[in-house]
Chains A and B, each alone.
Chain A
Amino acid sequence: MSENNHLHHHHQNHCSPSPAETMSEDDEPGRPQPPDPGSKKTRNCAAVHPSPHPDRVLEIVLEHVLQFLTARRDRNAASLVCKSWYRTEALTRSHVFIGNCYSVSPSRVTARFPRVRSVAIKGRPRFADFNLMPLNWGAHFGPWVATMGKAYPWLERVYLKRMSLTDRDLCLLGDSFVGFKELELVCCDGFGTGGLAAIASKCSQLRVLDLSDTEVMNDGVDWISCFPEGETCLESLIFDYVECPINFEALESLVARSPALKKLRLNREVSLGQLYRLMVRAPQLTHLGTGAFGPSEAQGASDQEYDYASAFSACKSLVCLSGFREIVPEYLPAIYPVCANLVSLNLSHANINVEQLKPIICQCRKLQVLWVLDSVCDEGLKAVAAACPDLRELRVFPFDPQEDAEGPVSEVGLQAISEGCPKLESILYFCQRMTNAAVIAMSKNCPDLVVFRLCIMGRHQPDYVTREPMDEGFGAIVMNCKKLTRLATSGLMTDRAFAYIGKYGKLVRTLSVAFAGDSDTGLKYVLEGCHNLQKLEIRDSPFGDAALLSGLHHYYNMRFLWMSSCHLSRQGCREVARALPRLVVELLSYEGNEKMDDGAVDVLYMYRSLDGPRNDTSESVTIL
């Protein structure tokens, strides 16, 4: 029974649907709906055994009841009640979420949950996105698809984040799962257009093909043409960051024969004229990624001047708009007809200024999610604050992501947003300078904040007015925002800031720290105080072995700990590995440092595993 407890503790991760549309870069996969009780999918034991044993009656009832539990936290709790509930829950779980692909082996999952329809697996930690992790570190989908291919013939949905897949894996997926419906790959890599072609051609029931932020190698295969002829079931086709040219005629034909298509996000190879032709074929779209939003390079006669505004007018259900990858701002007014209904708008690739933003944003009264570039300046953010009282999520990306560049947005923009958007739940804000006062103001004006990520791009930057550390600002956030679960810090921070986080950040599950803190004490505060901490990623901060060892009581409850370029030694990490045998302690080394045996650690990445250390590591990885 103790083993089951461990499994429970590991899977005890938060699961909640995102408030707005699933556009955020770090999203939990959507929960499936409870199955229709009348559907044939439910096990109907009564039909097999005409007069069931009394004990079985209870189990049958339980099965039917448990069908309606979809949140994995609830299911995990139910599985702990007793053996009977554990068994029944395992039989009725149709969606499995694996937060760390190395925490459990594929065969253990398929052994416990035999009737799974939908799987979500996460691989690499987030810092891998910023080149801090060796290539070929791992997180391979291969073993999973091989095992699931045999165990789950009825698998319908796969969601992967930061995993590596090969073309062969995709082929196998298409061959193994006859009724496969939804493939969502977020920040994945390793495959090419050949793999996509396999999916398109083999999965005749495909409803969703979502390649958000995923790298696809251009093997020259025309995958769009590989979809079957005739009407398709496609509801969602998302390939906005796939950097391969597209056979446009094939795409146009595909869109025309996909009457259920609601989400279409095009890559930047698609020109404005081509966009028009697609939009007129799919006025039922709810989500649109516009591609380039500019004329194609092979311009001139081929790109007539369409009435783009009329195409947008015709899309009466459009609520989510993105793209604008090579925007020609003169064409922006074409989107006016849809602004009033927009819930989500992503202009983070559009280098527009405040004058170009204003006429759009002032019409977006219902907007809940906005992503922009800092090219709109503080003035632009003021306009947002004035126009969008319902805003829940804001992301401001830097046009010039360098440490000492010009800073078009600052504490002024942050303050304005906090005053105009009191319902704000999630913010990601890149800037060159900030003040504690503005952060404190936000903590008070936006009590519903769940995610607060502030990136002052200059390292160790203090409050630029008072020259003090940013301790008070971040302290106010954890103190006043009682629902806060995710925090990313920056700027000059002393141990005091971590004392605040440890003391008040009781609900914090994800914490990102960079270039911060004075001593081991800082990290100790966090490890001792943040009881719900699941994911801790730290870089370039002066935390050493003593701090690491202060968290031994908590590491089994975490999804992972990442510490890079801190003050750890091999000795310290070895002590942790010895104290916690079920912890996999990986030491990763940067190029050129592998041979150095001075005991200093480049990267520590550790996580709980039920099945021991993995065997697919490369040379730069040492497992203690």
Chain B
Amino acid sequence: MNAMYEKNIDLEATELRLGLPGTSKKEITSRSKKRPLDESTEGSSSNNDDRLECSAPPPSKAQIVGWPPIRSYRKNSLHQKKEEAEAKAGVYVKVSMDGAPYLRKMDLNIYEGYQQLLEALENMFKITIGKYSEREGYKGSEYAPTYEDKDGDWMLVGDVPWEMFIPSCKRLRIMKGSEARGLTCGL
């Protein structure tokens, strides 16, 4: 019922979309798809990203066309600014490692994906974390990176798309030893 009349002359204009004018199609679809942790490695298990809305959050409240009544040039430039502001803001979380005497803090925003984050963790604590696979978690070392999410649950780092991870991660904890091994044995 509420179709849009976009100023762009392209086929997307006839699509019913959730999202503000000015947001790109790419942003929307990536939210509902699960992405493999490490796209460059093809060796590990095959079935990675074909399950679509497994752990996707519920879609944001449907945006009504032309509401609030702001002219498009204002919306677009503000949207950019918002993204810039969020990008610069910095998402600092505490990082603890089992057995370490004190905690550290890191800004998740400076990393572009799990690869970089894990490398940073490895550097920070002088450890090796091991390889992530969906089926087996982190194999190859006695460490497993976990995080506490908004619901207070401890989750394995790497299961959800990076963009979803950032806003939901409240703190990081690198588990060690038997606890960590427990996580890798297929829960």
> Using a CB–CB distance below 8 Å, which chain A residues touch chain B?
127, 129-135, 213, 215, 241, 243, 325, 348-349, 351, 397-404, 430, 455, 457, 459, 514, 539-540, 565, 590-593
Residue of B nearest to A134 (CB): B5
**Which residues does chain A contribute within 8 Å of B126, judged by CB atoms?**
none
The answer to whether the Cβ of B69 comes within 8 Å of any Cβ in the partner chain is: yes
Contact across chains for B2 and A130 when beta carbons are under 8 A apart: no
Q: Which of A213, A399, A514 contacts B67 (CB 8 A)?
A: A514
- B3/A591 in contact, CB under 8 A: yes
Query: Contacts A398-B68, A400-B82 given: A131-B74 contact, CB under 8 Å?
Result: no
What 0/1 pattern do residues 49 to 70 of B give for CB contact below 8 A with A?
Answer: 0000000000001011111111
Encode B40-54 as 1/0 by CB contact (under 8 A) with A.
000000000000000
Task: Scan residues 64-85 of chain B and give those whose CB is less than 8 A from a CB of chain A.
Answer: 64-75, 77-78, 81-82, 85
B141 close to A (CB within 8 Å): no
Q: How far is the CA of A401 from the CA of B76 in the complex (A)?
A: 10
Contacting A135 at CB < 8 Å: which of B5, B61, B67, B72? B5
Q: Find chain A residues with CB under 8 A from B67 CB.
A: 130, 403, 457, 459, 514
Interface membership of B130, Cβ < 8 A: no
3 closest A-B pairs by beta carbon, nearest first, are A130-B66, A591-B3, A590-B3
Question: B interface vs A, CB < 8 Å?
Answer: 1-7, 13-14, 20-21, 61, 63-75, 77-78, 81-82, 85
The answer to whether residues A351 and B68 also contact, given A135-B7, A592-B14 and a CB cut-off of 8 A, is: no
How many angstroms between the C-alpha atoms of A592 and B1 in the bound complex?
A: 8
- Chain B residues near A514: list those with CB within 8 A: 67, 69
Q: How far apart are B57's CB and chain A's nearest CB, in angstroms?
A: 14
CB <8 Å contact, A399 and B82: yes
Among B13, B63, B65, B81, contact of A132 (Cβ-Cβ < 8 Å)? B65
Q: Which residue of A lies closest to B84 (CB)?
A: A351
Inter-chain contact A131/B6, CB cutoff 8 Å: yes
B73, A591: Cβ atoms under 8 Å? Answer: no
Q: In the complex, what's the smallest C-beta–C-beta distance from A244 to chain B, in angstroms?
A: 13
| Known pairs A539-B66, A592-B3 / 11 extra A-B pairs, C-beta < 8 Å | A127-B66, A130-B65, A130-B67, A132-B5, A132-B66, A133-B5, A397-B74, A401-B78, A403-B67, A459-B67, A591-B4
Docked complex Cα distance between A130 and B75 (Å): 10
- A398 CA to B81 CA, complexed, in Å: 12
Contact residues in B for A215 (Cβ distance below 8 Å) = 7, 73
Contacts of B65 in A (CB 8 A): 130-132
For B75, what are the chain A residues with a Cβ–Cβ distance below 8 Å? Answer: 401
Q: Judging by beta carbons under 8 Å apart, are A351 and B81 in contact? A: yes
In the complex, the answer to whether A131 meets B68 with C-beta atoms within 8 Å is no
Which residue in chain A gives the minimum CB-CB distance to B72? A131
**Which chain A positions have C-beta within 8 A of B81?**
351, 399
Choose one: A349, A399, A403, A565; the contact of B1 (CB below 8 Å): A565
Residues of B within 8 A of A325 (CB): 77
The main secondary structure of chain B at its interface with chain A is loop
Query: Contacts of B82 on A, CB cut-off 8 Å?
Result: 399-400
Rounded to whole angstroms, the CA-CA distance of A20 and B1 in the bound complex is 41
Q: Write the nearest CB–CB distance from B69 to chain A, whole angstroms.
A: 5
User: Closest Cβ of chain B: how far from A290's Cβ, in Å?
Assistant: 15
Please indicate the chain A residues that have their CB under 8 angstroms from the CB of B7 in the complex: 131, 135, 215
Looking across the interface, which residue of chain B has its beta carbon closest to that of A349?
B77
Smallest Cβ distance from B1 to chain A, in angstroms? 7
* Inter-chain contact B14/A401, CB cutoff 8 Å: no
Residue in A129, A401, A514 with the greatest tally of chain B CB atoms within 10 Å: A401
The distance from the CB of B75 to the nearest CB of chain A, in whole angstroms, is 6
A593 to B2, CA, bound (A): 10
Expressed in whole angstroms, the Cα–Cα distance for A430 and B75 within the complex equals 13
A153, B134: Cα distance in complex, Å: 77
Q: How far is the CA of A403 from the CA of B62 in the complex (A)?
A: 10
The CA of A402 and the CA of B1, in the complex, are separated in Å by 20
Q: How far is the CB of B127 from chain A (nearest CB, A)?
A: 39
Assuming the contacts A132-B65, A399-B81, asked whether A213 and B71 have C-beta atoms less than 8 A apart, the reply is yes
Name A403's contact: one of B5, B13, B68 (CB within 8 Å): B68
B33, chain A: closest CB distance, angstroms: 23
A455–B73 touching, CB < 8 Å: no
Q: Complex Cα distance A131/B7, Å?
A: 8
Interchain CA distance A455-B68 in the complex, whole Å? 8
> Do residues B14 and A457 form an inter-chain contact, with CB atoms below 8 A?
no
Report the separation of the CA atoms of residues A157 and B38 in the bound assembly, to the nearest whole angstrom.
63
Establish whether residues A401 and B3, one from each chain, have CB atoms under 8 Å apart when the complex forms: no
Report the minimum CB–CB distance from B77 to chain A (whole Å).
7
Contact A351 B85 (CB under 8 A): yes
Tell whether, in the assembled complex, residue A130 and residue B85 are in contact, meaning their CB atoms are under 8 Å apart: no
Chain B residues with Cβ under 8 A from A129's Cβ?
Answer: 69, 71-72
Docked CA distance A43–B20 (Å):
57
Which one of B66, B69, B72, B75 has the highest number of Cβ atoms from chain A below 10 Å of its Cβ? B69
Give Cα A133–Cα B85 distance, bound, in whole angstroms. 32
The distance in angstroms between the C-alpha atoms of A52 and B82, with both chains bound, is: 72
**Which of A131, A243, A397 has a CB less than 8 Å from the CB of B66?**
A131
What are 8 sample pairs from A and B whose C-beta atoms fall under 8 A apart? Answer: A129-B69, A131-B72, A135-B7, A325-B77, A399-B78, A459-B67, A514-B69, A592-B14
| Closest B residue to A129 using CB positions | B71
Chain B residues, CB < 8 A from A348: 74
Interfacial chain B residues near A127, Cβ < 8 Å? 66
Write the nearest CB–CB distance from A598 to chain B, whole angstroms: 12
Known: A351-B85, A401-B78. A457 touches B68 (CB 8 A): yes
Residues of A within 8 A of B14 (CB): 591-592
Task: Point out which of B21, B61, B65 has the most chain A C-beta atoms below 10 A from its C-beta.
Answer: B65
Q: What is the CA–CA distance of A213 and B68 in the complex, to the nearest angstrom?
A: 18
Residues on the B chain within 8 Å of A457, using CB: 67-68
Q: B70 near A398 (CB under 8 angstroms)? A: yes
In contact, A404 and B69 (Cβ under 8 angstroms): no
Given A399-B82, A565-B1, CB of A131 within 8 Å of CB of B21: yes
CB closest residue in chain B, given A325? B77
Which residue from chain A places its CB closest to the CB of B75 in the assembled complex? A401
| Contact indicator A130/B71 (Cβ below 8 Å) | yes
**Residues of chain A lying within 8 A (CB to CB) of residue B64:** 403, 459, 540
- Pairwise interchain contact A593-B3, C-beta atoms closer than 8 A: yes
Question: Which B residues lie within 8 Å of A539 (CB)?
Answer: 66
Contact yes or no, A130 B69, CB < 8 A? yes
CB neighbours of B78 from chain A (8 A) = 398-401
A321 to chain B, nearest CB (A): 18
Docked pose: A380 CA to B72 CA in angstroms: 26
Q: Given A351-B81, A400-B78, A402-B63, A131 and B4 touching (CB < 8 A)?
A: yes
Q: B5 to chain A: which residues have CB within 8 Å? A: 131-135, 590-591
